[in-house]
Structure 1
Amino acid sequence: MAGGSTQQSLRKALGAIKDTTTLSLAKVNSEYKDLDIAVVKATNHVECPPKEKHVRALFLATSASRPRADVAYCINALARRIAKTHNWTVALKSLMVIHRILREGDPTFREELINYSHNRAHVLNLSNFKDDSNPNAWDYSAWVRTYALFLEERLECFRVLKYDVESERSTGHSQTRELDTIELLEQLPTLQQLLHRLMGCEPEGAAISNYVIQQALGLVFKESFKLYRAINDGIINLVDKFFEMQRHDALKALDIYKRASQQAERLSQFYEVCKGLDVARSFQFPTLEQPPQSFLSTMEDYVKDASRLAIVPRDVSGYNGERVVAGRIQKAPSSQSQDADDDRDASPVAGPLVKESLSPAPTFENNDLLGLIDASPDPSALEESNALALAIVPSGNMLHQT
């Protein structure tokens, strides 16, 4: 026990020496001295979250008002910091700084980070990172690697979508609600892969109770609210279009829907783990429920028969006398109102998309195919109410709670 304590003290002393040496070297660099100092101080060996004043200094250094060369230099400095360290604290704090600038900083940082990754080794590639200084450091290192994978996937998601889900303002629904079929089939799997990486950040072993890791995890599950809403709105849009799709597109859509259902269950479990952590005491989490199995069966039946059925225009297509609209079922008009409609539009009405023997698709009263029930807070509202639930204060290790 005494030996372990001595080793820990020695490591802290060595870390402090390294930081002091790096700061001394940074002060020699007259052109980017302040930026280098901010990077070193924000990512030092002290086992606590990055101090807010240093993070803010990096926000300023990477703002749109600064030359692109400054932004690129900041990224290069963080990349060097990550590449050279074998200490989990330094690596984690470097990732936290990158994550916070991506979330709260100017978009020029993200653009330069993507350019940097294309031209050189990826900054966030920590697949071989490990800190083997003690048994707990193994668990910490494993979490650092999964966190880096999430951030890397976050950049890839932006590359495909051309926008950041986190930057979407509260407008009632996400951009995915307005996409056409081709865009949906491309973007939803990308969003689902990002959610997969996000849920992979569930800590294990010693990482569960580590304060700094919990702070980083807070940043991660804050991102889950808008990400979930984007996927949910996209699925509603996808189902609205599903019964008009050609078979090859319907097969892709069915796989997306199945994965969405599985991820809703997995995300609910992830939230349950998060709720047990100290960092989550100030957060509100949505309640997730599984969509009805009957609708999945209806989709599977449609795919089986779609190759033999005509695809008809959306405004006249029927499904057993009903129409799928935004995940809900609209009953066919009565014969009297139908006659009136026929008088106004004499165009022939095509037959149903699926065989009459199939059961009608179920009604989703909550207009939420993934089960984010209306009684729960809206994900966008959760983002706003949780905005100050995780504030890293420079004076100590206490959470600033709202």
Structure 2
Amino acid sequence: MAQSKRLRKLIYVLQDKASLIGATLSIRRHVSSVAVPVLRATTHSLSTPPSEARIAAVLSIGHGSYLLPRACINALMDRLHHTHSATVALKCLFTLHNVIIRGPFALRDQLSCYPSYGGHNFLNLSTFRDDSEMESLELSSWVRWYAGVLEQSLSVSRVLGYYLSSSSIQNFKNYKKGVEETRRTHLGLSNSDLLYKIEGLVGYVEQISRVPDSLYLQKNELVYEVVRLVGEDYRCVQYEIFSRIEELGNRMENFDVAELSELLGYLKRMNESKERLLLLFVNRKKNDEFWDLIDQAKIKAAIAKEEIQGKWLLVTKPRRDESTGSTQYKNPFLEPGQLIPVPHADTSRFLLTVPTVG
């Protein structure tokens, strides 16, 4: 077994060297200038993630000729989709993640315009599997998860209109100051716009919470760096959700039942993801203030919803019709014959018909 593993590593080293030699000797200089940095950042070496220098070399391509950014993204995608190695795939995704959070606009633009393979699954790695050895098999689940996280990141960026790690929210230490600044940008948005953006952000949180069960693999330096980078995005997502929940909390007295129900649904989904998120980021700040706000908003929204429904059920004292002997109800909020929902003791519902008077 050990000998087989050493042989496999030797083969990977030779493959990397052959690929680099081929790219270096290419007669097309622009191909070489792109392929070499990409190959160096995505080697088969499992022990370490791409170095800062190698990531920087890839990102610098975005400052070159207008043809180079497209060639760079295509090279990364080709490398990602043609490898059977979980290590190479994870490094490709790690490099793409760096493009998203701090790459020049030219690279980001090419990535966001990359053709989709259906829906949001543009990376098309939902079936990725490297079964060359047990560790590679477990790493494969991290590849699938990480691809889903990056897909959600780009999706949320389209919903928000900017990338999650943009300069306006990157410094999370100025949290409260940032919230105050962000709140002013929310004032002109409708309730539906804010809820739409929260829906996208909650979907991103849910994808992060679907982390593989093999959390012990964070001891692997490459996986550790992946989780660290995702953790930075997660803090930015918390920032975005926090500011919008606070704004909606200020408007809640003017919500209708549909809006309250929608908000409660998103808050419930957040709470369902909490335990898994705490396990993933166990050594990081728990941000209790964020989760306290989620709980407070959930209680406030539930109370507001019950109050509105209580008004619907407000009826006058029963009046007995002397001619028919039946008891009739009148409600100033309803038209004769209109159906209204009435909560039963076990919180299920049945319909009460307001009879036509006349």
Over 3 Å counting, the alpha-carbon distance change for 1:21 and 1:8 in structure 2 is same
> 2: distance between equivalents of 1:297 and 1:236?
16
Q: Which moved more, 1:193-202 or 1:75-84?
A: 193-202
Which segments of 5 or more consecutive residues in structure 1 lack a partner in the other structure? 276-282, 310-402
Q: Which residue in 1 is equivalent to 2:345?
A: none
Q: Quick one: structure 1 residues 263 and 236, their matched pair in 2 at CA, closer, same or farther if it must change by over 3 Å?
A: farther
- Superimposed CA distance per residue, residues 323-343 of structure 1 (whole angstroms, 9 cap, x where no aligned partner): xxxxxxxxxxxxxxxxxxxxx
Please point out which of 105, 111, 114 is paired with 1:113.
111
Bigger mean CA offset, 140-149 vs 48-57: 48-57
Q: Counterpart of 2:306 in structure 1: which amino acid?
A: D
- What corresponds to 1:25 in structure 2? 22
How far apart, in 1, do the equivalents of 2:2 and 2:135 lie?
13
Over residues 35-82 of structure 1, what are the superposed CA-to-partner deviations in whole Å (9 max), with x where a residue is unaligned?
21000011011111112222111111013xx33321110000001101
User: 1:104 aligned to 2:97?
Assistant: no
Name the residue aligned to 2:257.
Answer: 247
1:298 to 290, 296, 303: 303
Alignment-mate amino acid for residue 12 of structure 1: K
Query: Are residue 51 (structure 1) and residue 51 (structure 2) matched?
Result: yes
Distance in 2 between the 1:205 and 1:268 partners? 12
Deviation at 1:31, TM superposition (A): 2.3
In 2, distance between residues paired with 1:9 and 1:265?
A: 39
Aligned to 1:8: 5
Structure 1 segment 140-179 matched on structure 2, within 5 A: 140-167=139-166, 168-169=168-169, 171-173=177-179, 174=182, 177-178=186-187, 179=189
Structure 1 position 189 matched with structure 2 position 196: no
Bigger CA radius of gyration: 2
Q: Give the aligned CA root-mean-square deviation in angstroms.
A: 2.6
1:300 CA displacement: 3.4
Distance in structure 1 (CA, Å) of the matches to 2:8 and 2:34: 26
- 1:269, CA displacement in angstroms? 4.1
**1 CA distance for matches of 2:311 and 2:274?**
27
Question: Deviation at 1:92?
Answer: 0.6
Contact 2:59 2:104 in 1 (8 A): yes
The alignment partner of 1:164 has SS state of coil
Q: 1:262/1:238 Cα in 2 relative to 1: closer, same or farther (>3 Å)?
A: farther
Q: Is the 8 A contact 2:86 2:139 kept in 1?
A: yes
User: Letter of the aligned partner of 2:214 in structure 1?
Assistant: E
- For the 8 Å contact 1:160–1:187, the answer to whether it is kept is yes
Moved more, 118-127 or 142-151: 118-127
Q: Could you tell me whether the CA contact under 8 Å between 1:42 and 1:51 is conserved in 2?
A: yes
Cα displacement (A) at 1:263: 4.0
Per mean C-alpha deviation after superposition, the further-off stretch among 134-143 and 24-33 is: 24-33
Please, which moves more after superposition, 39-48 or 159-168? 159-168
1:151-182 Cα shifts (integer Å, max 9, x gaps) = 01111111222112321245521467544312
The reply on whether 1:200 has 2:210 as its aligned counterpart is yes
Matches within 5 A, 1:278-293: 284-287=285-288, 289-290=291-292, 291-292=295-296
For structure 2, which runs of at least 5 residues remain unmatched after alignment? 315-358
- The equivalent of 2:321 in structure 1 is none
- Cα distance in 1 for partners of 2:257, 2:313 equals 9
**Cα distance in 2 for residues equivalent to 1:30 and 1:83:** 24
Label 1:58 to 1:244 Cα distance change in 2 as closer, same or farther (>3 A): same
Q: Which of the pair has the greater relative contact order for Cα pairs under 8 Å at 6+ separation? A: 1
Percentage of pairs with the same residue: 25
Using the alignment, how far apart are the partners of 1:305 and 1:87 within structure 2?
59
TM-score (norm 2): 0.75
Matched, 1:237 2:247: yes
SS of the residue aligned with 2:140? helix
What is the aligned partner in structure 1 of residue 327 from structure 2? none
Q: Which residue of 2 aligns with 1:89?
A: 87
Counterpart of 1:24, as a letter, is I
1:55 and 1:97 in contact (8 A); partners too: yes
The answer for the alignment partner of 2:230 in structure 1 is: 220
Deviation track 1:5-39 (CA, whole Å, cap 9, x = no partner) reads: 11211111111121122112212132221221000
Aligned equivalents of 2:268 and 2:83: distance in 1?
41
Q: Which residue of the partner structure matches residue 60 of structure 2?
A: 60
Report the structure, 1 or 2, having the larger helix content. Answer: 2
What are the within-5 Å matches in structure 2 for residues 327-342 of structure 1?
A: none
| Stretch moving more, 37-46 or 24-33 | 24-33
The aligned amino acid for 1:235 is I
Q: Is the 8 A contact 2:115 2:122 kept in 1?
A: yes
Q: Mark the CA change 1:308 to 1:249 in structure 2 (over 3 Å): closer, same or farther.
A: farther
SS at match of 2:158: helix
